[in-house]
Chains A and B, each alone.
Chain A
Amino acid sequence: MSANRSAQGQPHRGRPQVIGTRRLVATVVVFATTSAAALGSPTPEQIQFFETKIRPVLAQHCYQCHSAEALRAGKLKASLLVDSRAGMAKGGESGAAVVPRDKEGSLLLAALKYDGFEMPPAGKLPDRVITDFETWIDMGAPDPRDEPLAAVDERTIDVEAGRNHWSYRRLIPVSPPEVKTAGWARNEIDRFVLAKQEEAGIAPAPEAAKATLARRVFFDLTGLPPTPDELKTFLDDTSADAYEKLVDRLLASPRFGERWARHWLDTVRFGESGGYEFDGDRAGAHHYRDWVIKALNADLPYDEFLRMQVAGDLIKPGDLDATAATGFLVSGPYPGQVTAKTVEPIRYDQLDDMVATLGSSVLGMTIGCARCHDHKYDPIGHRDYYAMIACLGKAVQRDTDIDPDPATTKQKHDAWLAERAPIAAATERFRRDELPGRIARWMATDAPVRQAASWLVLDPQAAKAAKATLVEESEDVVSASGKLEANDAYVLTFRTHQRGIAGLRIDALTSPSAPGGGPGTGKDGGFRLSTVKITAAPLVPAADRKPVTPKLSAVAVSFADPGFEFARALDGDAATGWSTVAQRGKDQTAVVGFDKPLGYEGGTLLTVELKFEGGGHGLARLRVAATDSALADWDAASAPQAAREVAALLDAARAGGRDPATGPEAAEMMRWFSRLDPHAAEAQATIDEIDAKEPKPNLLKVYAATNGGWVITGNAQAVKTGSQDVFVLARGEVGRKKGKANPGFVLATLSADDAEQTLLSGPDAKTPPDSRLGLASFLTDVASGSGPLAARVIVNRLWHHHFGRGIVATPNDLGTQGDKPTHPELLEWLANRVVESRWSLKSIHRLIVTSATYRQAGTVTALGRSRDPDNTLLWYRKPARLEGEAIRDSLLAVSGALDTTMYGRTGLDVTVPRRSIYLTVKRSEPIGFLQVFDQPEPVQPVGARGVATVPTQALTMMNSPFVRSAAERLAKRIRATLAIPQAEPSGPMVIDACFAAALARQPTDAERAQFAQLLAAREQATGADASGRQAALADVCHLIFCLNEFVYID
């Protein structure tokens, strides 16, 4: 009825900043499709029914929030009016409230039934009332209330208007303004800043002292203080560009990337564990962090930096850096326990996490708000949200194995192949020339091995358990050791060329080394086998050979506890299983039969999975045998596998008319025959030896995004692989799918609507690329995508970290609800500049930190304070407290403990002297030292950290062993440096050294005297011997660490 809403009315003129304006839509009441006209006039009886059963209920329970009166009182909810027939038909945000004769389609009825919506909120109405409504809808919803529909304040998104929002529009070239004051400005930035100051009649502060400036820019660019030597080098350099040279040195330092990567990691909620239940570790997640450091150090162009994070795995498949970059998408917290009932909402939450992070960090927009409905303030449609997540619809998190150095790997492999070639040739000769004769002789002389035995004991190819360590203790017996815990799961694989396998026998064997003697690993010798799964797959694939998972039946068992029969291991219920505790200390056996015989031509790979769930233990020792008759007695004769396999292979070759010595069976046959013949064994061992030396790439597990079905990994109880399609969800609820979502972007950030398809189809429109590549283009395309917005967002972030406040003070929100820019032209100029400089962030850093604006002292004037108390015009430098990471790194640095090793996984120990960025970010175990100093929780993008002052920080500085050990170390270092044979360094000397190390300055005379007094007082307490003096000096160092000056940088 209001389908052509967007054509109505003009944007509201009175509120120019509000885009996608709210406006009054005086919806014309259209009766044509409502009940009265379509179905004829209601009968008096029907009207009577409405007046007695329906209207009073609506009036009593609904009008308070859903009537014209509620609208006037500002209490209208969900834009829904139920005080007129038209209002009911039109419905609210979710669609028609009442559809005559359609109970399913009438949302009002669903709400009354508390199905989805729950109305009235105070409590469900009695069933008889709900029945009345059903009756009423069935009779066509007769309703005499034909008052015109009240005008509802309804918002529609005006995309065209949205494109004019200051941060969404195309980049506009800007020239720096003229300024009156000559000589102050060092670069263009200063002209923008000074012009505003001149307008306000205030003057900038003088340039800061050189030492102050050095400490500022060291912390700012590297997160570390200058060492006394570094400081001296700078102070001694009297050349005009000494400062610029220092800046260049710092920008080139590897410490730069470590500092600025931390800022970026805040904005992308980086973590190395899953959060939620169990908070599982993501061992390969640090590769993303390492990549960010590398990329920033290398000044990777920012557009490339973004594209890699969104689609690196598609742009450069198999490349370590490109794969690691996509950790961006999947760094968020996801539930660690997923069942069939939760997998779908969790998947949509995951997509929401990706797109919300992308929105906040890259686009400075709160796109997450559009999950349930159009964004309330910004021109971001519900449609845009689903278009964006549809671009990400295939992306899932995985640990991907990546070879960090494929060239070296190939080189080594080629060398190995060359070494192997003569041995392979010799093996080939042995097989051709020797093997047939030896087999023939063996057949002739060793006939008994071919005699029939009911059971063929299988020789495991591999055996692995989730917890225990499984070892092949002999040819056919596997034993468990190591973590013998409950709830284990074993997987054993076997190869065979037998056909017609009708069943398997699982032997549970006693074990002297098991805690209870076996056959289980429990203390009582028990086990509980809860699930058995057997899979047969062809060794030689062919179209007609599909892997099968036979249906299993319990054929026989040697013994079972009552209620724990063998059949319970096959019933599909993890909570039930087979156990034999009552007969502890005895070997046990169970036979499982298949619904149809197994065994492929060309051989079969049998996989036997045994689970011991529900708190039960696993098997201590086990053996598996196969039979071609499932009804064979479980204790009938057994034979080892090798002889029968050789025979089977010979039979197969002959039946196929192939030469067993050279045909496809040869290699397998030699392998089995080597069990029976020493010469064959020797030949086989030679080739095995070289094969074992095959160089393997040193694969890294990289936690990253990849395309795949949405398997959600983790402690998955019943995971399913779902569709990769993304659906639009009404109100964000997975139960309310409104059709498939097509990939696309936030329309208001495009140059025009049709740019969406152009960006999605890529430069080569013949094969539509992955929509994630389209998303990467969209984010960085300046001409038609959201490149201008991305540029504004990033230069504002840089500004934020250099000055403590962005040109827009809400760096994650450049939308209508975010703060307005204090210097819009400057921001625009910087955005242009970063694009022109081919997205070089270092060039922007350099511009900013070499500006006169940045170099100001902290001098405040009365005039300045009265005209601009908040320093929005940047007329002086405000001190800023260091972040927790920088405080910790400083303590390590000044005490001489800092280990500057880069990259890798470090763990949670705060005392490990690596830079803080390398400490593991485990969501359930934040590093206390960093947390207390406002390190944000890694769950949502954070653009501007809070800076709280709490007593636990003071306690940490006063009493924590970490700070104390830094103080002791610094004291020791100073005494060692100043050591003079036969003499103690003087009090003033050591105090000067402490100040130089920790504060990069000399103490004043008064300070020197006060600390000397403290040192003397402490020495009285700690003793005048060397260790006492050192402890006293440590107290002095410790106190210096507690100074505001240590953590507040001018």
Chain B
Amino acid sequence: MTMQPDMQPHTQPGRIGELTLPARRAFLRDAGLGFGGLALATLLGAESRANAATGTSVARPLPHHPPRAKRVIWLFMTGAPSQVDTWDYKPELQARNGEPLPGADSQVGFFQTSGKCLASPFPWAQHGQSGSWVSGLFPHLSKHVDEMCFIHSMHLRANNHAPASMELMCGFNRPGMPSMGAWLDYGLGSMNQNLPSFVVMHERKPRGDDQIWSAGFLPKSHQALAIDARRPVAIDNLALRDGHSLGSQRAELDLLASLNAEHAALRPTQGDLAARISSFELAYNMQTAAPEAIDLSQESKLTHELYGTEDPKCKVFAKQCLTARRLLERGVRFVQIFAGRGVGGDGSVDDVPWDGHSNIETNHRECGMATDRPAAALLADLKARGMLDDTLVIWGGEFGRTSDSQGGRGRDHNPGGFTIWMAGGGAKAGYHYGATDPFGYKAVENKVHVNDLHATLLYLLGIDHEQLTYRHNGRNFRLTDVGGHVIHDLIA
């Protein structure tokens, strides 16, 4: 079957109707399941979509305003890259290596830091029309600076990986809250019929595990589908069982639908029985749609080369980025990739590869090589396909790192100031917003809290962050908690 972004509701004519029984027919008609076009996802989504007719807690229908972005891909640089070794050039820090760091704050960091400036060990140069400074870590991404919208003044509260990752994705540094992908699925529903709306890809699970992409207290139907790059089977239970073909399964499902319809007809007030009937049809379709969507052999050799799927230094991330693009093309709304590590074994830890506590140079070089080329390829590819205009790409880690050294050559955690960039999807191109102090230590100008980032991202997706709420434990919760300002300066 063919699938296009923003496709029309999928139609699956014929087969389901072959073993007809009057009761089932009547039931399906009652339930709005005409044979000509089962709007399956619509039906399923309607159970818990924010603006569905029942149980709503949303003040206004969604979208609240015309969206600039239709889909999001978040390249999560797990472990937290150092802002002063990537995108936030600080000549003052370079000049004063080893000298006491002005404003060194004993409360910053997770372990112990020296209080002495550690210059970035990487060469820096300006790139593009925007003249953006980029460290030598990103020979490929640096060619795309004119597409990027840099936020140099990010900050958040938590200063260890798990709570900070929760804060960055869910707005709270404690578990149990829905993540942005789940909120989007709840708010906007699905754009496709046969695939989940929210997909997470990781190699080893990052610290904080499923809590980072949790549906929290939202219905489980908004849960992410997590694809573990290490596993031979990407999606559980997708493969037909032994001895079965789609044909034989179809025949069984027809009987199942018929029997379930009879059962449901006798229980007319139980709406979820119809949804469960539909869920088997959607599952049936997913069995062919999902493997097709993640089948990279359908991509050209040129594309594989562009992403670097054969390059041992970056192939895992390359395959993830390429898979992500295929998913986005097929109507998946939110894809998040948690960057794994490279292959050099320089001391980076699997689940927090960018966590350069002991040696920022070797650690970041390795992580840069593992992610730079695929991320750049993704930008180029999205642009070439005309998708970058309405696809928001986000790059960043869960916090930044200290400008002073830890153990001589490493850097400790620093939630007080770090850089995230966005590209496409209505973000201002070639633009720099906010600033850290002259040493890159703390955000000081136009500070952007996670709540503000979320408010802005939701805005780009057509959502007023104060109006996307869900009632839980006696309170209306939202992604932005009680904060968040849309930063209009970031919007093109």
B296 within 8 A of A: no
In the bound complex, do residue B47 and residue A948 qualify as a contact, i.e. CB atoms below 8 Å apart?
Answer: yes
**Residue of B whose beta carbon sits closest to that of A924:** B209
Identify the stretch in B30-38, B120-128, B258-266, B304-312 within 8 Å (CB) of chain A at 4 or more residues.
Answer: B258-266
Q: Which of B255, B260, B407, B444 contacts A1044 (CB 8 A)?
A: B260
- Within 8 Å by CB of B259, from A341, A928, A1007, lies A1007
Q: Would you call A1014 an interface residue if the criterion is a C-beta within 8 Å of the partner chain's C-beta atoms?
A: yes
A1014, B255: Cβ atoms closer than 8 Å: yes
Q: Are B44 and A949 in contact (CB under 8 A)?
A: yes
| Residue numbers in B under 8 Å from A959 (CB-CB) | 237-241, 287
Smallest CB–CB gap between B443 and chain A, Å? 9
Interface with B: A186-194, A288-296, A900-908, A933-941, which one?
A: A933-941
| A941 (CB) vs chain B CBs: closest residue | B473
Contact B273 A1044 (CB under 8 A): yes
A457 and B166 CA atoms in complex are apart in Å by: 53
B270 touches A940 (CB 8 A): no
In Å, the complex CA distance between A939 and B212 comes to 13
Chain A positions within 8 Å of B211 at CB level: 275, 923, 937, 939
Interface flag for A950 (CB, 8 Å): yes
Interface residues of B in 410-468 (CB under 8 A from A): 444-447
Instruction: State A925–B226 Cα separation when bound (angstroms).
Output: 12
Taking a contact as CB atoms closer than 8 A, the residue among B266, B279, B358 that contacts A949 in the complex is B279
A1022-B259 in contact (CB<8A)? no
Task: Determine the chain A residues whose CB is within 8 A of the CB of B111 once the complex forms.
Answer: 339, 717-718
Task: From the candidates B48, B217, B255, B445, name the one contacting A940 in the complex (CB within 8 A).
Answer: B217
* A341 touching B107, Cβ below 8 Å: yes
CA distance A73 to B282 in the complex (A): 48
Q: Are the C-beta atoms of A1039 and B256 separated by less than 8 Å?
A: yes
**Contact across chains for A940 and B279 when beta carbons are under 8 A apart:** no
Known: A342-B159, A815-B474, A1010-B259. A958 touches B286 (CB 8 A): no
Instruction: State how many angstroms separate the Cβ of A1040 from the closest Cβ of chain B.
Output: 9
Residue of B nearest to A942 (CB): B217
Q: Which residue of B lies closest to A870 (CB)?
A: B269
The answer to the question of B67 belonging to the interface, with a C-beta cut-off of 8 Å to chain A, is no
Q: Is A1021 an interface residue (CB 8 A)?
A: yes
Compute how far the CA of A295 lies from the CA of B98 in the bound complex, rounded to whole angstroms.
Answer: 63
Q: Is the CB of A949 within 8 A of B47?
A: yes
For B48, B208, B264, B279, the residue with the greatest tally of chain A CB atoms inside 10 Å of its CB is B279
Could you say which of A377, A1017, A1044 contacts B251, with CB atoms under 8 Å apart? A1017
User: In the bound complex, what is the Cα–Cα distance between A958 and B209 (angstroms)?
Assistant: 27
Chain B residue contacts of A810, Cβ below 8 A? 474
Chain A residue numbers with a CB within 8 Å of B248 are 1018, 1021
Are A1022 and B256 in contact (CB-based, < 8 A)?
A: no
What's the Cα separation between A188 and B41 when bound, in Å? 45
B365 at the interface (CB under 8 A from A): no
Contacts known (A575-B408, A818-B474); A123 close to B446, Cβ less than 8 A: yes
Are A950 and B160 in contact (CB-based, < 8 A)?
no
Whole-angstrom distance between the alpha carbons of A277 and B263 in the complex?
47
CB pair A1044–B277 under 8 Å, yes or no, is yes
A122 vs chain B, min Cβ distance (A): 7
A1036 to B306, alpha carbons, bound, how many Å? 49
Tell me the chain A residues, 549-590 only, with Cβ under 8 Å from chain B.
573, 575-576
What's the Cα separation between A191 and B239 when bound, in Å? Answer: 54
Please report the C-alpha to C-alpha distance between residue A717 and residue B412 in the assembled complex, in whole angstroms.
14
- Is A879 in the interface zone, CB < 8 Å from B? yes
**In the complex, chain A residues 932-967 whose Cβ is within 8 Å of any chain B Cβ:** 932, 934, 937, 939-940, 946-956, 958-961, 964
Per the bound structure, the CA–CA distance linking A923 and B205 in Å amounts to 12
**Contact with B279, one of A817, A951, A1018 (Cβ below 8 angstroms):** A951
CB pair A946 B220 closer than 8 Å: yes
Contacts of A123 in B (CB 8 A): 445-447
Chain B: minimal CB distance from A955 (Å): 4
Chain B window 224-268, contacts with chain A (Cβ cutoff 8 Å), 1 for yes, 0 for no: 010000000000111111010000110110011011100110111
A867 contacts B by Cβ under 8 Å: no
Q: Are A277 and B207 in contact (CB under 8 A)?
A: yes
A881 adjacent to B272 (CB under 8 Å): yes
A614 within 8 A of B: yes
How far apart are the CA atoms of A118 and B445 in the complex, in Å?
A: 12
Q: A341-B110, A948-B47, A959-B240 are in contact. Are A954 and B444 (CB under 8 A)?
A: no
A939: contacting residue among B160, B161, B176, B447, CB under 8 A: B176
State in angstroms the CA–CA spacing of A858 and B207 once bound together: 47
Residues in B109-146 with C-beta less than 8 Å from chain A: 109-111
Smallest Cβ-Cβ distance to B485: which chain A residue:
A121
Using A1014-B252, A1035-B252 as known contacts, say yes or no to A335 and B44 having CB atoms under 8 A apart. Answer: no
Minimum C-beta distance from A614 to chain B (A): 7
B97 within 8 A of A: no
B94 within 8 A of partner (CB): no
A108 CB to closest chain B CB (Å) equals 18
Choose one: B205, B241, B474; the contact of A366 (CB below 8 Å). Answer: B474
Distance A1017 CA – B287 CA, assembled complex (angstroms): 23
Across the interface, do A950 and B239 meet the contact criterion of CB distance under 8 Å?
no
In the complex, the answer to whether B243 meets A1031 with C-beta atoms within 8 Å is yes
- The reply to whether B161 and A277 contact each other, CB–CB distance below 8 Å, is yes
**Are A926 and B210 neighbours in the complex by a CB distance under 8 Å?**
yes
Task: Kindly provide the distance from the CB of A20 to the nearest chain B CB, expressed in whole angstroms.
Answer: 14
Name the distance in Å between A309's Cβ and chain B's nearest Cβ: 20
Q: A947-B272, A955-B286, A1043-B263 are in contact. Are A124 and B447 (CB under 8 A)?
A: yes
By a CB distance below 8 angstroms, the chain B residues around A1018 are 248
Q: Which residues in A have their C-beta under 8 angstroms from that of B358?
A: 575, 614-615
The answer to whether B269 touches A865, judged by C-beta atoms less than 8 angstroms apart, is yes
Q: Which residues of the partner chain A approach B272 to less than 8 Å between Cβ atoms?
A: 881, 947, 949
B269-308 contact mask (Cβ, 8 Å, vs A): 1 or 0: 1101101110110111011000000000000000000000
CB A356 to nearest CB in B, in angstroms, measures 9
User: Known contacts A817-B474, A1014-B255: does B162 contact A939 (CB below 8 Å)?
Assistant: no
Instruction: Write out the residue numbers on chain B whose beta carbons fall within 8 Å of the beta carbon of A742.
Output: none
Interface residue B9 (Cβ < 8 Å from any Cβ of A)? no
For the complex, give the distance between the alpha carbons of A45 and B276 in Å.
77
CA distance A366 to B276 in the complex (A): 34
Residue of B nearest to A333 (CB): B175
Whether B275 and A949, one on each chain, are in contact in the complex, defined by CB atoms closer than 8 angstroms, is: yes
Q: Are B474 and A1043 in contact (CB under 8 A)?
A: no
CA distance A717 to B209 in the complex (A): 21
In the complex, what distance in Å separates the CA atom of A881 from the CA atom of B263?
14
Take A817-B475, A959-B238 as given contacts and tell me if A937 and B162 are in contact as well, using a CB distance cutoff of 8 Å. no
Whether A67 is near chain B, meaning CB under 8 Å from some CB there, is no
Interface assignment of A860: CB less than 8 Å from any CB of chain B: yes
Given contacts A937-B214, A959-B240, A1044-B260, contact A954 B280 (CB under 8 A): yes
> Is A812 interfacial (CB 8 A cutoff)?
yes
Contact with A along B190-217 (1 / 0, CB 8 A): 0000000000000001011111001011
- Closest B residue to A1028 by CB, please name it: B243
A499 to chain B, nearest CB (A): 38
- Interface residues in B76-122 by Cβ distance below 8 A to A read 107, 109-111
Q: Can you pick out 22 interface pairs between chain A and chain B where the beta carbons lie within 8 Å of each other? A: A123-B445, A275-B211, A335-B160, A341-B109, A342-B110, A368-B473, A575-B358, A860-B268, A924-B209, A931-B223, A937-B176, A939-B211, A954-B280, A955-B287, A958-B241, A959-B240, A959-B287, A1039-B255, A1042-B280, A1044-B273, A1048-B270, A1050-B267
- By Cβ-Cβ distance, the 6 closest A-B pairs, closest first, are A575-B407, A954-B283, A924-B209, A817-B474, A948-B221, A939-B176
Known: A337-B160, A1044-B277. 5 other contacts (CB 8 A): A276-B163, A718-B111, A879-B267, A954-B279, A958-B283
Show the binding face of B for A, using Cβ within 8 Å: 44, 47-48, 107, 109-111, 159-163, 174-176, 205, 207-211, 214, 216-217, 219-221, 223, 225, 236-241, 243, 248-249, 251-252, 255-256, 258-260, 263-264, 266-270, 272-273, 275-277, 279-280, 282-284, 286-287, 347, 358, 406-408, 444-447, 473-475, 485
